Amino acid sequence: MEKFEEISQTEALSKYKHYKHAAHAMLAADDPGTTFGCKRNAVIMMQMRFDGCIGFVGGLIDPEDDNPVDGLNRECVEEIALDLDKVKFEKENFLLCHIVHDYKLVLHFYGKKIPLKLFYEIEKRAVLEAEEWGNETLGLIRVPLSLFEQGDINKRFKAFLKHNFAGNAKRQLLTGMKMINVVPEDVYNKLLQGVDI
């Protein structure tokens, strides 16, 4: 089993230049709606990948990319036809970096919150326009973040976490959603009850 170690991005980019680098990202939005009486709280975009695993949009940084964030934006155009005039990842959106020595791989992770209306537009455009739709990207998924008021309150989120995830995408999800305050802290704590990070 591969081991993901957290590393600073500066160290990863200087000391491990010879490794492969990939960058993935979380797009999230507040969602005021309810599902069967439960507040949805927020939406987070993930994808069903070509390999059957759930992951974030993004991919390997190519030689033509000047830096990880440029590579990330290019992959977002390929995988979901992201309109960079409307939503573009910036260096400031960096969240976490992990290294896997066994695979000589560095994984950069970014994230940001956007208005819900824009989130919906991105989803629709992906289906209609993305060059990788049906190939690398088999579908966009919204992470279920609603809670029951009693009983097994985080049943929906725990069921979601039982899927297979690419790389350390599950860890990126749990850590990233806290870092960019996808949901209020009390909701986050309830969602994570009984879940190991």
Rule CB under 5 A: which residues touch Mn ion?
59-60, 75, 136
Among 72, 130, 166, 191, binds ligand GTP (CB under 6 A): 166
Q: 196: Cβ–Cβ under 8 A, 6 or more apart, which residues?
A: none
Distance CA 11, CA 21 (A): 13
Among 29, 94, 172, 183, binds ligand GTP (CB under 6 A): 172
What, of Mn ion, ligand GTP, none, does residue 168 touch, CB below 5 to 8 Å by kind? ligand GTP
23 binds ligand GTP, rule: CB under 6 A: no
What, of Mn ion, ligand GTP, none, does residue 24 touch, CB below 5 to 8 Å by kind? ligand GTP
Distance CA 37, CA 66 (A): 47
**Binding-residue pattern over the window 45 to 64 for ligand GTP, x denoting contact by CB under 6 A:** ----------xx-xxx----
Among 68, 111, 167, 176, binds ligand GTP (CB under 6 A): 167
Q: Is 121 helix (H, G, I), strand (E, B) or coil?
A: helix
Q: Is 11 helix (H, G, I), strand (E, B) or coil?
A: helix
Among 107, 122, 140, 182, binds ligand GTP (CB under 6 A): 107
Residue that has been written with the tokens 């994808």 in this structure: 47
Q: 155: Cβ–Cβ under 8 A, 6 or more apart, which residues?
A: 148
